[in-house]
Chains A and B, each alone.
Chain A
Amino acid sequence: MTKPRIEPQSVGAVAPATARFDDALHLRSGGRLDGYELVYETYGKLNAAHSNAVLVCHALSGSHHVAGRHADEETDSGWWNNLVGPGKPLDTRKFFVIGVNNLGGCDGSTGPRSRNAATGRPWGADFPFVTVEDWVDAQARLADTLGIDSFAAVIGGSLGGMQALSWTLQHPRRVRHAAVIASAPKLSAQNIAFNEVARQAILTDPDFYDGHFYERGTVPERGLRLARMVGHITYLSDDAMGEKFGRNLRHGKAVYSYEVEFEIESYLRHQGDKFAQQFDANTYLLTTKALDYYDPAFAHGGNLTAALTAARAGFLVVAFTTDWRFAPARSREIVYALAHNGRDVSYAEIDCAAGHDSFLLADPQYHAVLSAWFDRIEV
């Protein structure tokens, strides 16, 4: 094996760790997990005061693998590798950064693929519904295990931003700063509609077998593929899609077939295939439901300002001009609700063409804001 190339400002080769929890976790859905495992990665060093920890929460298809490379892989850089590393905006020379795969996930933490001790078989569709708040509960136990009483910051994009926000409400004294990026205080009807189309694609796939496809030796690949294709349409802006693919034809002219003709078709099929081979259908269902259910204002009669009263953290909220899945107006709702509580909050609206996906890119203005914000955090 050739020695992997180490890119500058990379955290380099990383390896995941697993934390086992034997205390039962009671879930918002009424379900219960008697024991569970969380797989996580860390970058940088926890300081003596244990005051420099930053938790990175992942979105729908993310994982604990936030930065660096796994030793046996040349190409699987973490999903937020451009953000996390020595000299990067979330600087691992200053901060101890933690990525964790959420409960119900399919990257190593206990989820639908795991064995249900009660039956001896994979959980499958019987895995209990988990919510954003449940994830935060589980992450808090991991923080306990790692000796972290309070986080310097919790950061996340999209569904990860909802977790960051929820952290500040569930554990206000344990989060000194929170970055809520390309997120929303709740999904809109249109957002839920897109999720429902994706779920129906999976639920109606003949290979799904009501979520118990593991024992059948099948994978509902068609459903996953369609779900991902729909998702990807909403993650890009019309402009970005037009600029990247336009009406480009693979054969230079119409050949009157249902095979790939337009380049956008090729892109969507490629994304769908890639996703279907690695992601778990039950995790996809659970995670989109967690997105749909998240609504901290619901218990306050829809009053978001009242819902955010408990927060104590200093906030950074970031949105992207071309993001129509989690539009800037949704982020502004969070900003004004925090300001009306007199909380410290800054809001940056980044002019980036890439739609919802912008939050994963290294737009210079976006990273300048994040760098400035992280630089001011005292550890």
Chain B
Amino acid sequence: MAGYRYDYDVITQWIAPGERVLDLGCGDGGLLRHLIDTRKVCGYGVENDPEKVVACVKNGINVIQADMNRGLTDFDDGFFDHVIMSLSLQAMHNTQGILAEMLRAGREAVVSFPNFAYWRHRQSILNGRMPVSRSLPYQWFDTPNVRFFTIDDFESLCEKCGIAIRKRLAFDEGAPIVDEPNFLASMAVYRLGRD
């Protein structure tokens, strides 16, 4: 199954012990397992891939099988301290609906995604080919990703939707990037709140 992902450390440091956490697109439950082990959170995951649902059950993770593209969850407003979506937003059609749902069910949202404007991706496009990298590991014909966006795109959407960016960390394959993230970072992690 999916190995350790470097956005986990960032996400973990934003989660306080004992929080209620929802992980949308939780995969095999690796992040939730990590948060339960290190932060003793009360965690739930949402996942639609049947094999990953079984993997979550094997991992002892609370998983709710649901298609985030078809319908949002029935959790009460503000039930969670944090609603997380780790490297999955780019695979969802209903981007605005999901961001709204995260900030409805959660006090804060944590979102990470691959930056399409990363310089290696730009270089690839200039060379006439769709980018394939560690953060975008798929070929154009088999990618689960349906939304290709950049750090700048995401931040302008947040502004348009009245979503407050409380914190942003950007990385180039694991190394922190402070300057020019939209050019130099392959991935970004955000802590979001309501304005």
Contact = CB atoms under 8 A, between A and B. Distances in A.
A372 B54 contact: yes
A346 interface: yes
Counting from the closest, the 5 A-B pairs by CB-CB distance are A372-B57, A336-B74, A372-B58, A347-B64, A349-B65
A372 B75 CA distance: 26
Interface string B71-101: 0011110010000000000000000000000
B75 A335 contact: no
B68 to A, nearest CB: 13
A71 interface: no
B54 A345 contact: no
A376 B57 CA distance: 8
A30 interface: no
B42 interface: yes
B53 A369 contact: yes
Nearest to A373: B57
A276 B162 CA distance: 64
Given A340-B79, A342-B20, A351 B58 contact: no
A10 B76 CA distance: 45
Contact of B75 (A339, A344, A345, A368): A339
B60 A335 contact: no
A344 B73 CA distance: 17
Contacts of A316: 57
Given A332-B74, A369-B57, 4 more contacts: A346-B57, A347-B66, A348-B50, A372-B57
A251 B62 CA distance: 53
B63 A347 contact: yes
Q: In this complex, which of A339, A347, A365, A369 has the most chain B Cβ atoms within 10 angstroms of its Cβ?
A: A339
Interface of chain A, main secondary structure: helix
A210 interface: no
A345 B44 CA distance: 8
Nearest to B60: A376
B54 A368 contact: yes
B20 A346 contact: no
Interface in A295-324: 316
A335 B64 CA distance: 8
Nearest to A350: B50
Nearest to B48: A349
Nearest to B22: A339
A74 interface: no
A375 interface: yes
A117 to B, nearest CB: 48
Nearest to A345: B62
B60 A336 contact: no
A13 B58 CA distance: 32
Nearest to B55: A372
B56 interface: yes
Contacts of B54: 365, 368-369, 372
A346 B64 contact: yes
Nearest to B79: A340
A348 B65 contact: yes
Nearest to A305: B76
Nearest to B45: A346
Contacts of B53: 346, 348, 369
Given A332-B74, A340-B79, A376-B57, A346 B62 contact: yes
A344 B60 CA distance: 9
A351 B53 CA distance: 13
Contacts of A342: 20, 42
B74 A365 contact: no
A365 B48 CA distance: 13
Nearest to B73: A336
Contact of A340 (B60, B63, B66, B75): B75
Nearest to A340: B76
A349 B66 contact: yes
